[in-house]
Amino acid sequence: MENINHTESDTEPTSDRRYWKRSHAEKGAFMTSGAAYYRAFREALRQAESYVCMLAWDLTGDIELVRGESPDDDLPTRLADFLYALLDQKPDLEIYILLWDYSVVYLAEREWVPFSRFRRNPHPRLHLVTDSAINAGASHHQKVVVVDGQFAFNGGLDFSKWRWDTDEHKPGDPRRVTPDGEHYQPYHDIQAALTGPAARTLDELCRDRWKRATNKSAPWPEPSESVEIWPPSLKVEFEKETAAFALTYSAYKDYPAITQVEALYLARIAAAERYIYLENQYLSSHPIADAIAKRLEEPDGPEAVLIITRDTGGWLEEGTLGLLRSRLLEKLRSADKHKRFAAYYPHVRDKAGNESQVYVHAKAMICDDATLLHGSANLSNRSMKVDSEIVMALGLGEPAPVAETMLHRLLGIHLDQSADAIQEALAATGSIHETIRRLRANSRHQLRDLHYDPLNSVQRKLADTQLLDPDDPIDLGYWLRKNFK
C-alpha cells in the first residue's frame, strides 16, 4: 500500500503510529445485529449508480439477507441472487469483490468454492478476486463495503452463514439457520455506516487492496461527490465527526508491517480515566492484557469491563485461544487489587425456559463516554500483528457523543433494558459493574460472570509463549528475513 504509514496531522505528537488517516464523517450509524446490517446493505446497494466494492473474509452466496418478513422491493433475498438481479436492473453498475483466499483451517465455516454460483454462471459485471496477497498463516480480515465512493460499511460482520441474528437473540429462533438448515446459537456483532470523506477513505483502502492483490490499479471510477446514499432503515446517530482509521498488516514482499491497531488500543487504554468497556470475540493479546493490568494496579485507575463469549468454539479454539484467555484473565484478576475488573458473557432465556449463551463476535472498545474504537480486529496477536485489519476511532480529539450512546445501547441489548434505564442506573451507581449486577438480577437477558478453570504450571508456561497465537505469520521467507538480516 502506498503511503500507508503517513497521516494527517493532529494534536497527538505520535499520532502517526496510531492511525493511517483521519477523515470527516458527514453521517454515521451503528448496526448491532446481522439482521439490521443485511437490511441496510440491500437498501444501500439499491441506490448504487456506478460501483460497489467489497472486502470480505468470507462470502456465502446462499445466505438469506431478509428473514421472517417481506422485503420492501421485488429483488431476491439471497445474497448471490440479489447481486445478480441488481446488476441486471442497473446496466451501468459494476461490483468488485476481494475475498480472502482462505486457509483450510476455516473450511467448516466457508463455501468449498467461494461464491460458487459466480463460478458456475459468471456475470460480466461481477468481478470476484480471491485475494492471496498476504503471508501464509495470515488472513485478510477487513470487512468493508463501499458504494459509489460516498457511502461505506465497516466493522466485524461478514456475509457468512452464521452471522444473521436480531438484537433480541431469541433462543431457538427458527430464522437463525444456515443455508443447509443448521440452527446456530444467538450471535452478537456490530457494523458501522459512514458517508462523506470517511467513506472515501475506505474507498481508498479498497483501491490499495485491489492493487496489492492484482498488481493493477482499481478499475472503478473516482467517487462522484454528487451522489447521496443512506439506507432508510438506519437512524443517523452521529454527524460531522472526525474518524481515524488504523490498520494492521504483517510485512509482505515490499509492503511494510503496520501495527497501528495495537498502538491505538494501547494509547486509549493508557488514556482512560473512568472506564474501559470492551466487547470482543477473543482475548489472547499479551500487550493488551498487560496494558489493562497496569491500569488496574493504579489506586485511582478506570473500571475495566470485558464482554466475551463463554465457550470460544470447538476443541481447537478451546485448547488454544481458550487457554490463552484463561491465562490472561488470571493475570488481570491478579492485578485487580482494587476490584475494578470483571469479565462477563451474554446469556439469554425465553419465557418457555429455553436458554443459550450469545456468541460475541463484536470488536469494540468505549472509554469514558468519549472515545469509541470499532472494526474488524480481535484482541489477539493475529489481529495486532499478522492479519489485515481496520479499526475506526471516534472521539480522539473532542469527545464523540455517540460513544456514550453506544455504551447505553449495548448494555441495553445484553440486559434487555432501554437505553434510558441503563443511563439512570449508571447515574445512580456510578459504575458499569454495579449497573450490570443490579439490572441482571431479574432479567431474561443477563451478563453472567465468566469463570475459568485454574491452569496448571504446564498450561501457564505454554500460554506465556506465542505458540498458541503467534504474532508472526507462518512464512519461512518472512522468518528468515526477520531473524537473519
Residue 67 belongs to a domain with what CATH number?
Answer: 3.30.870.10
Residues 349-368, mean pLDDT to the nearest whole number: 96
In a domain, 180, yes or no: yes
Residue 456's pLDDT is 63
Residues 3-27, mean pLDDT to the nearest whole number: 62
In a domain, 479, yes or no: no
Residue 103's pLDDT is 46
Residue 453's pLDDT is 73
Does the pLDDT of residue 471 top 60, yes or no?
yes
In a domain, 481, yes or no: no
Range of the domain at 99: 15-241
Contact 382/288 with Cβ under 8 angstroms?
A: no
Amino acid code (one letter) for 263: A
Residue 366 and residue 253 share a domain: yes
In a domain, 177, yes or no: yes
In a domain, 417, yes or no: yes
Residues 271-298: tens digit of each pLDDT: 999 999 999 999 999 999 999 999 999 9
Contact 132/473 with Cβ under 8 angstroms?
A: no
Residue 470's pLDDT is 62
Tally of CA atoms within 13 A in the half-sphere of 451 that contains its CB: 3
Residues 402-413, mean pLDDT to the nearest whole number: 98
Q: Between vectors from CA 460 to CA 280 and to CA 294, what angle results, nearest 5°?
A: 55
Residues 455-476, mean pLDDT to the nearest whole number: 57
| Angle subtended by helix axes 286-297 and 260-271, to nearest 10 | 10
Residues 66-110: tens digit of each pLDDT: 999 989 899 999 999 999 999 999 999 999 999 998 643 444 455
Query: What cell was used for 214?
Result: 492484482
Residue 297 and residue 220 share a domain: no
Mean pLDDT of the chain: 88
Residue 270 and residue 237 share a domain: no
Select from 190, 221, 241 the last residue of a domain.
241
Name the band, by pLDDT with cuts 50, 70 and 90, for residue 226.
confident
Select from 185, 212, 241 the last residue of a domain.
241
Residues 378-407, mean pLDDT to the nearest whole number: 96
Name the band, by pLDDT with cuts 50, 70 and 90, for residue 12.
very low
In a domain, 381, yes or no: yes
d(CA 414, CA 436): 9
Residue 293 and residue 182 share a domain: no
d(CA 423, CA 409): 10
Lowest mean pLDDT among 184-198, 323-337, 402-416: 323-337
| Number of domains making up the chain | 2
Residue 412 and residue 283 share a domain: yes
Residue 119's pLDDT is 61
Please name which of 95, 119, 99 lies closest in space to residue 56, comparing C-alpha atoms: 99
In a domain, 485, yes or no: no
Q: Are strands 303-307 and 341-349 parallel, antiparallel or unpaired?
A: parallel
> Any idea which residue has 521467507 for its cell?
477
Residue 210's pLDDT is 97
Residue 439 and residue 301 share a domain: yes
Query: What cell was used for 413?
Result: 441489548
Residue 279 and residue 207 share a domain: no
d(CA 295, CA 274): 11
Residue 13's pLDDT is 32
Name the band, by pLDDT with cuts 50, 70 and 90, for residue 122.
confident
- 180 by Cβ neighbours in 10 Å (0-12 / 13-18 / 19+) ranks as exposed
Does the pLDDT of residue 323 top 90, yes or no?
no
CA dihedral 133, 136, 141, 147 (to 10 degrees): 10
Residue 272's pLDDT is 98
Q: In the chain, pLDDT over 90 holds for what percent of residues? A: 76
Q: In the chain, pLDDT over 70 holds for what percent of residues? A: 84
Residue 174 and residue 87 share a domain: yes
Residue 335 and residue 235 share a domain: no
Residues 233-245: tens digit of each pLDDT: 999 999 999 999 9
Residue 476's pLDDT is 42
Residue 276 and residue 222 share a domain: no
Residue 104's pLDDT is 39
Residue 326's pLDDT is 85
Does the pLDDT of residue 455 top 90, yes or no?
no
User: Given phi > 0 = left and psi -120 to 50 = alpha, else beta, which region is 165?
Assistant: beta
User: Mapped to the 3 state alphabet, what secondary structure does the chain carry?
Assistant: CCCCCCCCCCCCCCHHHCCCEEEEEEEEEEECCHHHHHHHHHHHHHCCCCEEEEEECCECCCCECCCCCCCCCCCCCEHHHHHHHHHHHCCCCEEEEEEECCCHHHHHHCCCCCCHHHHHCCCCCEEEEEECCCCCCCCECCCEEEECCCEEEEECCCECCCCCCCCCCCCCCCCCECCCCCECCCEECCEEEEECHHHHHHHHHHHHHHHHHHCCCCCCCCCCCCCCCCCCCCCCCEEEEEEEEEEEECCECCECCEEHHHHHHHHHHHHCCCEEEEECCCECCHHHHHHHHHHHHCCCCCEEEEECCCCCCCHHHHHCHHHHHHHHHHHHHHHCCCCCEEEEEEEEECCCCCEEECEECCCEEEECCCEEEEECCCECHHHHHHCEEEEEEECCCCCCHHHHHHHHHHHHHHHCCCHHHHHHHHHHHCCHHHHHHHHCCCCCEEEEECCCCCCCHHHHHHHCCCCCCCCCCCCHHHHHHHHCC
Residue 349 and residue 330 share a domain: yes
Residues 429-447, mean pLDDT to the nearest whole number: 96
Residues 108-119: tens digit of each pLDDT: 455 555 556 666
Does the pLDDT of residue 171 top 90, yes or no?
yes
Residue 326 and residue 287 share a domain: yes
Residue 211's pLDDT is 97
More confident residue, 469 or 442: 442
Query: What cell was used for 358?
Result: 450469545
Does the pLDDT of residue 250 top 70, yes or no?
yes
Select from 210, 241, 272 the last residue of a domain.
241
In a domain, 237, yes or no: yes
